[in-house]
Amino acid sequence: MHGINNLLLLMVILLNFFTLGSSRLGACIRAVALQGAVISILPITLHGINGHSVILATGAFVLKGIFIPWLLFRAIREVRIRREVEPLIGFIPTLIIGALTTSAAFIFADNLPLIEAHHGSLFIPTALATLFTGFLLLITRRKAITQVLGYLMFENGIFVLAVLLSEAMPLMVEAGVLLDLLVAIFIMGIVINQINHEFSTLNTERLSALKE
């Protein structure tokens, strides 16, 4: 079981890198969707098959793996954009910063006072690395959709961290978190449409410019 967990978490980290390095929005959405699907398996592989973990896994899979990507794909179809053209920081620099933060996450996780069972597992470093990657996407990209992806990735990192605690957490709290996410994506979808409607582009920079 330990091996499977590590393999899944490794995939999560590789998908982080892929999303940072890719300019195509479709590919990015697919990568984040795949990441969501991969981490939704984690509760089952970590805690075994029981009611709690199965509900959590299916809930996360349907939301993160299918429904939200579908919403995002609809959004990019409606606003007709394909790629992130000019990020604030280029793709290679963000990749390198991403790799540095990932290494930092590994070093930091080693120094945390964790309980014995979590020592040496990839869960904490992966969660931290995914959080940082989400941040990076949020900071460096101009298009609203990529920023939503960054937010999603951020949430994926929190999910990985929460999987460790899912034994102790009531189902209600987790359902609440997933619902929050969904509502947020809904609202962002509406906002994206509005931005597009007003400016006929998705550059969020236009929002901070004064109207002439």
Partner 1 sequence: MIGNTLLHLAILCVLSPLLLGVIGKTKALFGGRNGAPFLQPYFDLWKLLRKGMVISETTTWVFLAGPVVALAVPLLAAMLLPFGALPAPVSFDGDMILFVYLFGLARFFTASAALDTGSSFEGMGAAREVTFSCLAEPTVLFGLIVLARLAGGLSLQEMLSPELLESWQNAAPSLGLTLVSLFVVLLVENSRIPFDDPNTHLELTMIHEVMVLDHSGPAFGLILYGAAMKLFVLGALVVRIALPFTFNNLLLDLLVFVAGMLGLAVLIGVVESIMARLKLVRVPQVLVGTTLISAFAMVLLLR
The residue ranges that bind partner 1 (CB under 8 A) are 3, 6-7, 10, 13-14, 17, 21, 91-92, 95-96, 98-99, 102-103, 106-107, 110
Shorter beta-carbon distance to partner 1: residue 95 or 138: 95
**Least CB distance to partner 1 at residue 178 (A):** 29
**Least CB distance to partner 1 at residue 105 (A):** 10
Helix, strand, coil share (%) of the chain residues, nearest 5:
80, 0, 20
**Least CB distance to partner 1 at residue 43 (A):** 21
Tokens 């993160």 locate to: 64
Shorter beta-carbon distance to partner 1: residue 67 or 108: 108
Shorter beta-carbon distance to partner 1: residue 12 or 68: 12
Token digits of residue 67: 């429904």
How far is Cα 207 from Cα 2, in angstroms, rounded to an integer? 47
**Least CB distance to partner 1 at residue 35 (A):** 16
Task: Spell out the residues 6+ positions from residue 39 whose beta carbon is closer than 8 angstroms to its own.
Answer: 8, 12, 60, 64, 156, 159, 160, 163
How far is Cα 11 from Cα 99, in angstroms, rounded to an integer? 15
Shorter beta-carbon distance to partner 1: residue 107 or 173: 107
